[in-house]
A = this chain, B = another copy of it.
């Protein structure tokens, strides 16, 4: 079943059927109805490949996650983000093509294919490793692009949160509650957002004339376990608060503290980042900086579609608000249960 056959049945030309399908004006109402009816009756759908070829576009949006992000995947960030992207795409006429490498070798093979073939009309890039070459390569090939998260490339559009400000607010909150020995658990340093959060932490301390102590900063990797070990390292240093760069590490830190008989928040206050689902169901419930992950995904996708369709000219940048969700681990609220 193809355009020609539908045209035959309707007694019109292929071109007219095409016009009806693509909602061109300049088709008489009578003809439109007749063609539509036949298309419906025959269950006809135009061939996607032929369309791509003729129109010189794929109607495909690529979603690309560079290698080495497994922790983010497992931490609950990725599925939520993907949900936002997927939802936005499903409400458009585009189709999602997902590219996620787990090893460097896979990523390499992936990049080659993405760059070589015209497989997508545009791409949403998730996160950004400092020396990732993909954004630049794609940009140079004039591929419409939106990054979720920060980048050093000023030419590309991004949807992001203000990591520095958010981290500063979180740290400030602890300072206001009287904490002075505030430790920080970071993520991998080659992730730009991680460094921004670190800067926010440091800025907050400085603004309050609290000396910055490098010993109170530990590099984690966004896993629960790394938070646990960071906490164990901090305990002998006499800390009274921990600000972790994501919730998972905050949870791990809480485990480490509990194991050493330290009470949260009485002995050590804890603040996380993300506000993942479990944060609110923990005991004590986790105070954390909420970022609108799902919205990050859906807004980036909508922006990309606008860029592809020329409704917006890049670079375009959107910063979504974050919100400090005050629960029990910071000690600002009396504990429940």
Q: With both chains docked as a complex, state the minimum distance between the C-beta of A274 and any C-beta of chain B, in angstroms.
A: 12
CB of B70 within 8 A of CB of A83, answer yes
CB of A102 within 8 A of CB of B87, answer yes
Stretch binding the partner chain, chosen from A91-99, A233-241, A315-323: A91-99
Which of A48, A52, A106, A110 has most B Cβ within 10 Å? A48
Stretch binding the partner chain, chosen from A13-21, A116-124, A196-204: A116-124
Interface string of A61-80 (1 = CB under 8 A from B): 00100000010011010111
| B-chain residues with CB within 8 Å of residue A219 when the two chains form the complex | none
Q: CB of A149 within 8 A of chain B?
A: no
Which of B43, B46, B87, B99 is A106 in contact with, Cβ under 8 Å?
B87
Complex CA distance for A95 and B116, rounded to whole angstroms: 13
CB of A98 within 8 A of CB of B96, answer yes
Copy count, this protein chain? 2
Complex CA distance for A78 and B102, rounded to whole angstroms: 15
CB of A110 within 8 A of CB of B83, answer no
Q: CB of A311 within 8 A of chain B?
A: no
CB of A101 within 8 A of CB of B90, answer yes
Give the contacts of A89-142 with B (CB-CB under 8 A): 90-91, 95-103, 106, 109-110, 113, 116-119
Q: CB of A224 within 8 A of chain B?
A: yes
CB of A48 within 8 A of CB of B283, answer no
State whether A90 and B106 are in contact (beta carbons under 8 Å apart), knowing that A52-B52, A70-B83, A78-B79 are contacts in the complex: yes
Which of B49, B83, B110, B337 is A58 in contact with, Cβ under 8 Å?
B49
Give the contacts of A226-250 with B (CB-CB under 8 A): 228
| B-chain residues with CB within 8 Å of residue A79 when the two chains form the complex | 73-74, 78-79
Q: With both chains docked as a complex, state the minimum distance between the C-beta of A81 and any C-beta of chain B, in angstroms.
A: 11
Q: CB of A306 within 8 A of chain B?
A: no
In the complex, the chain B residue whose C-beta lies closest to that of A76 is B74
Interface string of A28-45 (1 = CB under 8 A from B): 000000000000000101
Complex CA distance for A63 and B97, rounded to whole angstroms: 10
Complex CA distance for A223 and B280, rounded to whole angstroms: 13
| B-chain residues with CB within 8 Å of residue A101 when the two chains form the complex | 86, 90
Q: CB of A184 within 8 A of chain B?
A: no
| B-chain residues with CB within 8 Å of residue A80 when the two chains form the complex | 74
Q: CB of A326 within 8 A of chain B?
A: no
In the complex, the chain B residue whose C-beta lies closest to that of A44 is B116
